[in-house]
Amino acid sequence: MRTAIYPGSFDPVTLGHLDIIRRASVMFDRLIVAVMHNQNKQPMFSVEERMEFLRCTTSQLPNVEIASFDGLLADYARQQGACAVVKGLRAVSDFEYEFQMALANRKLNPELDTVFLMTSAEYMYLSSSVVKDIAVHGGSVAGFVPDGIMQDIVRRTRKEG
């Protein structure tokens, strides 16, 4: 049983994330999509809301589990018996930070490798911040986030904003 973890803030999940989830779910027996804390970010949606968006988005993928963890990714991977972390790479600008993270995580947990999947070209420009910015300013997020959660994101974003 090969378990991988796809960690992120997922604030909220986008079609770019879903693309990575779909592709990674074929590569591993079990994929845990973990909502984790990025100390540099102040999320707009609660952990529960972010998990709910992810559950709704991945309900058709039987080997995908949604979880959250408040500590170090390297510790969580050990706890779950995961052999890999999955991350999406969108552009060269992502590389330096991701490289640093991958090395730090492997230092903390030598069993853990990071697998990078190149983001599909149509999602190169996408980020959760772009989605929130569009929604807060009244734009349409169609084509940016999965259809099933679009209305909910817009409703909750406007309530916040």
Which residues are designated catalytic?
Answer: 17, 41, 90, 128
CB of 18 to ligand COA, least distance (A): 8
How is residue 28 annotated by DSSP? S
32-71 residues near ligand COA, rule: CB under 6 A: 36-38, 41
Put the strands of the sheet holding 30-36 in their side by side order.
64-69, 30-36, 3-8, 84-89, 113-118
Give me Rg for the CA atoms of the chain: 15
Among residues 88 and 154, whose Cβ is nearest to ligand COA?
88
Binding of residue 119 to ligand COA (CB under 6 A) = yes
The DSSP result for 39-102, as a single string, is: TT---SS-HHHHHHHHHHHHTT-TTEEEEEESS-HHHHHHHHT--EEEEEE-SHHHHHHHHHHH
Identity of the residue numbered 154: V
Q: Which of 25, 58, 128, 157 binds ligand COA (CB under 6 A)?
A: 128
Residue closer to ligand COA by CB (options 55, 78) is 78
Q: How many residues bind ligand COA (CB under 6 A)?
A: 25
Q: Which residue sits closest to ligand COA, CB atoms considered? A: 16
Residues near ligand COA (CB under 6 A) are 7-9, 11, 14, 16-17, 20, 36-38, 41, 72-73, 88, 90, 101, 104-105, 119, 123, 126-129
